[in-house]
Amino acid sequence: MVLYNVALVGATGAVGQKMCRVLEERNFPVNDFRPLASKRSAGEKIAFKDSQYDVEELTDGSFKDIDIALFSAGSSVSTTFAPVAVSEGATVIDNSSAFRMDTEVPLVVPEINRSAIESHKGIVANPNCSTIQMVLALKPLDDVFKIKRVVVSTYQAVSGTGKEAVEELIKQSNAALKGDEITSEVYPHQIAFNILPHIDVFDSEGNTKEEMKMIMETRKIMALPDLSITATAARVPVINCHSESINIEFENEAPPKEAKKILQSAPGVAVVDDPENNIYPMAITSSGSNQAYVGRIRRDESVKFGLNLWVVSDNLLKGAALNAVQIGECLIS
Amino acid sequence: MVLYNVALVGATGAVGQKMCRVLEERNFPVNDFRPLASKRSAGEKIAFKDSQYDVEELTDGSFKDIDIALFSAGSSVSTTFAPVAVSEGATVIDNSSAFRMDTEVPLVVPEINRSAIESHKGIVANPNCSTIQMVLALKPLDDVFKIKRVVVSTYQAVSGTGKEAVEELIKQSNAALKGDEITSEVYPHQIAFNILPHIDVFDSEGNTKEEMKMIMETRKIMALPDLSITATAARVPVINCHSESINIEFENEAPPKEAKKILQSAPGVAVVDDPENNIYPMAITSSGSNQAYVGRIRRDESVKFGLNLWVVSDNLLKGAALNAVQIGECLIS
């Protein structure tokens, strides 16, 4: 069995930690394991496969003898160090948005466009969490019914922002319940018991970067550069797992029962759809799971051929760490 | 000044209590005030205009000498007792869904279709909370740009379910933060730190009654019986105020700047839209306010003429008590 030297940039972050667990669980054939992080985190210990590893400072030379470098430390780190990793001989799987729309960089959800990996020139990009769970549901339906237009509204958990956001939600929730003063550091406003229609920065048109990611990345992954799609992204007081209300207009008739069947056999998707018994996808029941859960599959009568779906997935797993490791599996297969 | 004898059915409930406050604040010309409730709540005290009133049991004869009867005690109570109130000489303003789609009963948001009240035959219906805040934004835009289709996803607060749901959210949040066991009584699943794509009962097509209310009531209020509209209603762990992600396709060009201007002068609407400074409508800043707050007004590029909006309003005030009292003001004016 061939083993690979794997570096993990951002090893101490929320997604980095999940990547460790996913590499272990999936028995990724790791030879040397090298956790990397900023100077601030260097020296911390990271547990991996029954051993403790010292986190090393990310620097030029960090990727010597590395085969696969998983990056999960934000765009600026990726922009600087992904090319370094490539020049030092590693293949980069980048979880940041730095290279996603780069025409030279494949943007991959293995269940959807695995073959796109083949054209990589050293970097493969991991899509945005909200995008991954959406395309898992859209692609199999598009294959059969052909999508005309998508309108999506998200209900995104704080874990997508990072560990400090989870702490802020917990801290603010405690304060609110006690009637104490609430301070916001991670988000511009209170997230506890509130909804923020604001994820990432606003552009001049009034869209957020998160919304534009969902639009642009979906088009790229599905190889539908002209796909009509609009998105509204909102942060909700949920610890983990993003929920999405997805409305799809099709070119062809898309009966809910047929859509359900298609989704039941779609890779990476699990249908959870028994409303009579109050069974539908939820954040709290999806946390820790690998799939995108799809439910509330029902006809939208406002267009000739339309469906509404409710899609929930663990944004740290399929939305980030799992998808990245799956890309790694494709690279070595 | 003419004074009116006012009965309030469901006086001890969350909306009933808000109705008391709104009647006071707006100096509704009340002569006799008669709080009514189920046998269980009879005998409780209700504060109104510096006096304490005994809650009387709702029964035949409860509406003797009553001019206006505000009902906020659920559909079955309204179905039974609204006709009683009418036969005893009162005009009913009903906050339940019992009569909303009755062709003999006007369904009124005064800012939108005040004149519909004139045709009433004893009962005027108050729309669903989610519908009211949506039509306040839709109608002025439809007047100018003509709406082709609406796709709405809601983020609804627990106060819409009632006081016991607010208590459940608080209790479950406390339990979750302490790591204690969580029990659900009001909702079928945990609402704390979770999203439920489920409000009211499911129909055979997989839509909830809440979603169908938003569709049918919007068509009736706006007098657009064929309006293309689809809805997904979700419950979120927020105490008060519903948020809505509203996508609108128009027949005519609808520039965001023009839409903003139109909404700025629309009755019942306040525009809160300065994303550069992180200013947009939010639940926590809308609670206790009378208006529907509209922000994130931006172009939807997925159709020829489209806009996305984010609308937040206090579901107990404009979504219920305030709108009902405003209907009362129309009745007596």
Say whether B295 and A197 touch across the interface (CB within 8 A): yes
Residue B77 reports pLDDT greater than 90:
yes
pLDDT band for B269, please (50, 70, 90 cuts).
very high
Question: Residue B242 catalytic?
Answer: yes
Say whether A301 and B149 touch across the interface (CB within 8 A): no
**B165 part of contact set with chain A, CB < 8 Å:** no
Give the chain B residue nearest A298 (alpha carbons): B206
Say whether A245 and B295 touch across the interface (CB within 8 A): no
Mutation pick from A196, A296, A310 vs chain B, by most beta carbons of B within 10 Å, is A296
Residue B166 reports pLDDT greater than 90:
yes
Neighbours of B324 (CB within 10 A): 26
Please say whether the beta carbons of B312 and B242 come within 8 A: yes
CB contacts of B297 in chain A (<8 Å) are 206
pLDDT computed for residue A1 by the predictor: 83
CA angle, residues A200, A204, A207, in degrees to nearest 5: 45
Neighbours of A81 (CB within 10 A): 25
CB contacts of B276 in chain A (<8 Å) are 202
Among the partner-chain residues A174, A189, A280, the one whose CB lies closest to the CB of B198 is: A280
CB contacts of B307 in chain A (<8 Å) are none
B158 Cβ contact list (under 8 Å, min separation 6): B165, B166, B168, B169, B191, B235, B237, B238, B239
- Among A residues 294-333, those touching chain B with beta carbons less than 8 Å apart: 295-303, 306, 308, 310, 312
Give the chain B residue nearest A158 (alpha carbons): B193
Question: Is the pTM higher than 0.90?
Answer: yes
Residue B1 reports pLDDT greater than 90:
no
Å from A302 to nearest chain B CA?
4
Q: Return the percentage of chain A with pLDDT > 90, whole number.
A: 98
Q: Residue A44 has which token pair?
A: 């911390």
Crossing angle (nearest 10°) for helices B14-25 and B322-332 = 50
Q: Return the percentage of chain B with pLDDT > 70, whole number.
A: 100
CB contacts of B149 in chain A (<8 Å) are 302-303
Say whether B239 and A196 touch across the interface (CB within 8 A): no
Q: How far apart are CA A218 and CA A135, in angstroms?
A: 6
* A115: phi then psi, degrees, rounded to nearest 5: -70, -20
Residue B113 reports pLDDT greater than 90:
yes
CATH class of A131-315: alpha beta
Phi-psi region of A90 (alpha: psi -120 to 50; beta: other; left: phi over 0): beta
Say whether B193 and A245 touch across the interface (CB within 8 A): no
Q: Which of these is catalytic: B129, B189, B241, B330? A: B129
CA angle, residues A275, A280, A283, in degrees to nearest 5: 155
**Could you report the per-residue pLDDT of A193-217, keeping only the tens digit for each?**
999 999 999 999 999 999 999 999 9
Give the chain A residue nearest B307 (alpha carbons): A230
Please say whether the beta carbons of B82 and B94 come within 8 A: yes
Among the partner-chain residues A150, A177, A308, the one whose CB lies closest to the CB of B230 is: A308
Classified as helix, coil or strand, B193 is: coil
Q: How far apart are CA B206 and CA A260, in angstroms?
A: 12
Question: Residue B129 catalytic?
Answer: yes
Say whether A245 and B228 touch across the interface (CB within 8 A): no
Overall average pLDDT of the A78-87 stretch: 98
Residue A331 reports pLDDT greater than 90:
yes
**Could you report the per-residue pLDDT of A112-140, keeping only the tens digit for each?**
999 999 999 999 999 999 999 999 999 99
pLDDT band for A320, please (50, 70, 90 cuts).
very high
**Could you report the per-residue pLDDT of B47-56, keeping only the tens digit for each?**
999 999 999 9
Domain locations along chain A: 4-127+320-332, 131-315
Say whether B151 and A282 touch across the interface (CB within 8 A): no
CB contacts of A179 in chain B (<8 Å) are none
**Could you report the per-residue pLDDT of A54-67, keeping only the tens digit for each?**
999 999 999 999 99
Say whether A232 and B302 touch across the interface (CB within 8 A): no
Fold of A4-127+320-332: Rossmann fold (3.40.50)
